[in-house]
Structure 1
Amino acid sequence: MAINPPESRAAKRCMRVELLQILFFAGLAVFIGIRLYMALGRPVGRSPEEHAREETEKAVAREAAAPARETASMQDPSGRPQTAFSTVDVDEAAYDGLEAIADADGSFDAAEFIQGARAAYGMIAGAFARGDVEALEPLLAPRVMSAYREAIEARAAKGETLTTEIDRIKETRLQEASLNGPKAKIKVRFVAEIAHETRASDGSVVSGDIAALHPVAEIWSFERDVTNDNPNWRLSAVRPA
């Protein structure tokens, strides 16, 4: 039986140790490689699902922030809300006065005022033609009420009747606005197509023609005490436009 010399046995032991070291470091390299791939080896960019989810989250965030942007756009540098008058026709000269009125009366709304003014235009014209003093009373300032009352009484004394028909109001425009103390005043330009006819007691036509429409342009002034709980505006003056 052959016996290996001591030098040969020592050489084999060294080879086994080296092999074990190689296997150890090879395993370690594989382990490290796997960890690096997990951390760094993902595809560059986002998957379609991740992109869609991110876009959805951005859309929700924009929608949630929209009211705040709208509120911010309605504020001046001091942070005080501004009143929007973009829904009505307004002369530039009226803006400061409208802002002052809105500041003094938080319930003031230019669009609602215009609607009320248009309604008042038809109500006042109709009540004056009928001679309905009671209907005119809450709509007119005292000085205008006095003038209308005199005209109605003079017409009645002659036995005359007045018929007025408003075909349409073509223009309603806020022309001027002001606030003097508690008294707010707004001037409105009306352009309407109207037919008038006055008849005597025997039915004969004194003036006008109810079948003929004529354009009428006037400036109506409305006023109101903003410290009063009564929200109604009264007609304080009428003049040709």
Structure 2
Amino acid sequence: MYGQFDLITLIALIVAVAAILKLRSVLGHRSDEDEQRVERLKKREAGQRAAAETASADVITMPRRDRDPLQPVPAVEAPANNAEARIKAFSVVDPSITNGLLEIANLDTSLDPESFLTGAGRAYEMIVSAFAEGNRRALKDLLSREVYDGFVAAIGEREVREETVEQQFVGIKKADLVEAELKNGVAFLTVRFISELISAVKDKAGEVVSGDTQTIKSVTDIWTFSRDVSTAKARANPNWKLVATQAPN
């Protein structure tokens, strides 16, 4: 009985193993089409992973064009207390300069004396260089009408004499704010520039008639810049113009 049972059990095991092997051989078999499908899936997954890694490592966001145009953001003026703090921290030789700056800041809270001096220095170099070159177009946007007319007249006289200016702007050694006031809503800031130039005037034959092409000369100029700060519309224009020049005392 036990032998019979063992024989039946053994036959059943053999049949089960054969069935498993048959099923495994069927399920484990891949056709050429299956292989190609698997390869395509692998490539797609690899491409998606690479794109995700690249996007997360180096993203450049381009401007988005919405259906409705974005409304411009209005300029926000700096708080008055910040302007007051900047002005009081600004070093001056005359307390009246601070008072004048504070008066201007009551209308224009964006006023920053340090930033103004930086911009005035750039304007000074541009104006001096444009005048030497006789570049009327460059001067027009930087000068008031009266000052522009004076500069252009001097350039014209030089051209009549057939003289040219050979100039090299070395740099500004010092720029000090020496006056600040507000008149009828217009701000006036006066700066003393001490600069270094190499400058010479030559006649039509190329001979030097004044100055020197080799020597660095120290030059002092006192220039006054102005800007309308009376209204929000006027303050939207941040540009200062040269309105007066004077020789040092």
TM bucket (normalised to shorter chain) is 0.5 to 0.7
1:233 aligned residue (228, 240, 243): 240
Question: Does the residue aligned with 1:170 lie in a helix, a strand or coil?
Answer: strand
- 3-state SS, counterpart of residue 106 of structure 2: helix
Q: Which residue number in structure 2 is paired with residue 16 of structure 1?
A: none
C-alpha spacing 1:214/1:128, structure 2 compared with 1 (3 Å):
same
SS where residue 134 of structure 1 aligns? helix
3-state SS of 1:83 partner: helix
Deviations for 1:92-126, whole angstroms, at most 9, x for unmatched residues?
A: 23101111111211222111101100001100000
5 Å matches for 1:39-54?
A: none
**Contact residue 170 and residue 191 of structure 1 kept, 8 A:** yes
Give the one of 201, 217, 222 matched to 1:219: 222
Which position in structure 2 is the counterpart of 1:115?
118
Q: What CA deviation, in whole Å up to 9, does each residue of 1:130-167 have, x standing for no partner?
A: 10100000110111101001011111112111122222
Deviation at 1:86, TM superposition (A): 6.4
Q: Which has the larger radius of gyration?
A: 1
Task: List alignment gaps of at least 5 residues for structure 1.
Answer: 1-74
Pick the aligned partner of 2:199 from 196, 199, 222.
196
From 81, 84, 87, the equivalent of 1:85 is 87
Provide the identity percentage. Answer: 37
* Number of aligned residues: 164
2:155 to 152, 157, 164: 152
**Structure 2 length-normalised TM:** 0.62
Name stretches of at least 5 consecutive residues in structure 2 with no aligned partner.
1-78
Answer yes or no: is 1:124 the counterpart of 2:127.
Answer: yes
Q: Check 1:168–1:86 CA distance in 2 against 1; reply closer, same or farther (3 A cut).
A: farther
Note the alpha carbon deviations across 1:54-111, whole angstroms, 9 max, x for none. Answer: xxxxxxxxxxxxxxxxxxxxx9xxx955231367553323101111111211222111
Q: What letter is aligned with 1:100?
A: E
Instruction: Tell me the distance in 2 between the aligned counterparts of 1:159 and 1:141.
Output: 27
